[in-house]
Homo-oligomer: A and B are copies of this chain.
């Protein structure tokens, strides 16, 4: 593998000149630039990224830390980030935190040690305090799906409350008056925000909130099944169900059918997130779109702008959900 050294020799210029054209510096004459380029071409020169990192203290690597690598959400996110970053010549290093505080901290260290220029995180085990402390270190980072007031500019998040509102409103607009709700773990901000939105829609329509129609799940499919089974068993009746995410909605659909009911004839169901498999379900699940792709892209752009000084990038931190009506909600 040829080095910058051999290039400089062949081109008959100094090391620095080669380095300059390599880094697109201004103040290089067209002539030497041409000579250098030709020499690089001839030698099949490929710059050694590691050496560049060491000398410049820049790795051109962005670390991505997520709870899990599998699941419908993360793939979409990774894909959007990788696409955006790679076309800017940046690499993506991934690490999973497995929703475990210690493991997530290790993941961060892992990524920082690797000299990542910046981090993108979608994690929930890490405390706000930890993240705030981290913001004083030299590695800039971005946080997805989380709003931390002290770190406002670094956070890219959804108006979850509005999403929750939209979902329940859609049910109400279809004539439903008794609406059950399966939430995510209320210890998580996004879960409570969505639930608050649900309640706001109820109030707005002057519908009473009935605690018997509430079930707290954990965002996983099984809790959707458990939730719907529980709801179906209690006495208060209802005609529609809003779930705080699509996985739980899928579980609820299963439970509903296992009990011999039809969707949406007997029960209308709406999810949240609009993950790709919602279209595969039968009936196709009505849901609320979570623009994870846009958010992932935006946070990549934030890094491009902050860390690599790209210009002309408009940053938005707050994203809006939209209703995706499909087949699982019917008029009553």
> In the docked arrangement, what's the CA distance between A86 and B95, Å?
8
Q: Which of A54-76 contact B (CB under 8 A)?
A: 54, 59, 61, 68-72, 74-76
Per-position contact with B for A244-260: 1 when CB-CB < 8 Å, else 0? 00010010011001000
Q: Is B113 a contact partner of A46 (Cβ separation < 8 A)?
A: yes
> In the docked arrangement, what's the CA distance between A53 and B71, Å?
33
- Other-chain residue from B49, B68, B115 in contact with A113 (beta carbon distance below 8 A): B49
Residues on B with beta carbons closer than 8 Å to the beta carbon of A5: none
Q: Is B54 a contact partner of A82 (Cβ separation < 8 A)?
A: no
CB contact under 8 A between A250 and B280, given known A82-B96, A94-B82: yes
Residues on B with beta carbons closer than 8 Å to the beta carbon of A86: 95-96, 110
- A282 proximal to B (CB < 8 A): yes
Residues on B with beta carbons closer than 8 Å to the beta carbon of A279: 221
Q: Is A48 a contact partner of B82 (Cβ separation < 8 A)?
A: no
Q: Find the B residue at minimum CB distance from A78.
A: B69
Q: Is A51 a contact partner of B49 (Cβ separation < 8 A)?
A: no
Q: Find the B residue at minimum CB distance from A247.
A: B280
Interface size on A, residues (CB 8 A): 46
- Other-chain residue from B74, B91, B93, B257 in contact with A282 (beta carbon distance below 8 A): B257
- A261 proximal to B (CB < 8 A): no
Residues on B with beta carbons closer than 8 Å to the beta carbon of A92: 93-95
Residues on B with beta carbons closer than 8 Å to the beta carbon of A94: 78, 82, 92-94
Determine how close the nearest CB of chain B comes to the CB of A274; give it in whole angstroms. Answer: 13
Q: Which of A80-98 contact B (CB under 8 A)?
A: 82-83, 86, 91-96
Per-position contact with B for A107-130: 1 when CB-CB < 8 Å, else 0? 001100111000000000000000
- A308 proximal to B (CB < 8 A): no
Q: Is A51 a contact partner of B54 (Cβ separation < 8 A)?
A: yes
> In the docked arrangement, what's the CA distance between A42 and B92, Å?
32
Q: Is B281 a contact partner of A282 (Cβ separation < 8 A)?
A: yes
Q: Is B280 a contact partner of A221 (Cβ separation < 8 A)?
A: yes
Most buried by B among A47, A51, A92, A277: A277
CB contact under 8 A between A75 and B79, given known A92-B95, A282-B281: no
Determine how close the nearest CB of chain B comes to the CB of A200; give it in whole angstroms. Answer: 29
> In the docked arrangement, what's the CA distance between A266 and B94, Å?
46
Determine how close the nearest CB of chain B comes to the CB of A76; give it in whole angstroms. Answer: 5
> In the docked arrangement, what's the CA distance between A331 and B61, Å?
55
Determine how close the nearest CB of chain B comes to the CB of A64; give it in whole angstroms. Answer: 9
Most buried by B among A83, A114, A277, A280: A280
Q: A68-B79, A92-B93 are in contact. List 10 more A-B contacts (CB 8 A).
A: A46-B109, A48-B54, A49-B115, A50-B53, A61-B93, A70-B79, A82-B95, A91-B95, A92-B94, A277-B277
A-B contact pairs, 5 of them (CB 8 A): A48-B113, A78-B94, A86-B96, A93-B94, A257-B282
Q: Which 4 A-B pairs have the closest CB atoms?
A: A69-B79, A70-B75, A277-B277, A250-B280
